[in-house]
Chain A
Amino acid sequence: MSEPAPHRHGLEAFFATAESTPDARVEIGVLSNRGFLNVRLDPRKQQNVRTAEQVLGQAMPLVANTYTSGRHRVYWLGPDEWLVETGAGDAATLGGELTAVLAGSGAAINDVSGGQVALRIAGADARTVLAKGCTLDLHPREFGPGQCARTGLARATLLLAAADAAPSYTIIVGRSFADYLCRWLAHAARPHGACFSTR
């Protein structure tokens, strides 16, 4: 099998022209080369969860709006739906393994790498900037590390996760919304000073 093409996020033009401010209080970045699997299975059959966890090498979050970190990030999307974030080069192999071990269980594993873009919003004023377009209560008491939510930000539907207490947040958004969302974030962050990074 040939090496899979690196996952392009389509934001090259945006990040090439975005101008960083000194003393920025918000950092906007795109995480390159991420791969994503959508996992649907019935968690009421505990065997399904155990089987998937063995392949993933980590626990699946069964509590609503939480994620687990390990070799991958596994986000809760719904009572029978998860999103696995992994390296772009690992998604196909991992998806194949999950499909194989869960065969006959009614589970569905889909590689959705091409449709997703992962962004990172960090810095002292990150929460203030997100709050300009999001109806969730983002106070760390309500939305801290380990929690995630599919919600709306500036009228785009996306997955928002509290990554750490720095604070930093991960946004996983549909690829066709990514350019719009980055422009919205850059505009919302302008009064706070923004810097931009790709990695």
Chain B
Amino acid sequence: MLLITCPWCGPRAETEFSYGGEADIARPLDPDALSDAEWADYLFYRGNPRGPHREKWNHVHGCRRWFGVERDTVSYRIARSFMLSAGGPGADADAGPESGGDANTEQED
């Protein structure tokens, strides 16, 4: 079982979380301007990398917040978890994906 660190609650068992797919997918600002192929790409196509993967998780049986996790898809090792947006309540003012608010997890699985 994975031990996933929620940025708010700390390390919790994988069973408390729900997986939300690849992170950093931005909804197109003007969907009408997109071709069908571009829209399909936004809706359905994901990177599916072998190695480090930025993905979304929801602490559904805990604080119910979405956050990001950087996980290696080969080793399942979690490098870190992070808050998804600087704007949400509870997030530090500068807790963007690359800045503060990191909860580093260095555990082996």
A→B interface (CB under 8 Å): 42-44, 64-65, 77-81, 135-136, 149-152, 157
Contacts and interface: CB of A to CB of B under 8 A. Distances in A.
Contacts of A149: 9, 62
DSSP class of B's interface residues: helix, strand, loop or mixed? loop
Nearest to A106: B89
B63 A152 contact: no
Given A80-B90, A152-B61, A135 B9 contact: no
A81 B62 CA distance: 12
Interface string B81-94: 00000001111000
B13 interface: yes
Nearest to A40: B89
Contact of B61 (A42, A79, A157): A157
What is the size category of the interface that chain B forms with chain A? 10 to 19
Interface of B: 8-10, 12-13, 15-16, 60-65, 88-91
B8 A64 contact: yes
A170 to B, nearest CB: 17
Given A79-B63, A135-B12, A150-B62, 19 more contacts: A42-B89, A43-B90, A44-B89, A64-B9, A64-B63, A65-B10, A77-B63, A77-B64, A78-B64, A79-B89, A81-B64, A135-B13, A135-B15, A135-B16, A136-B12, A150-B61, A151-B12, A152-B15, A157-B61
Closest 5 CB pairs of A and B: A79-B90, A80-B89, A135-B13, A78-B63, A157-B61
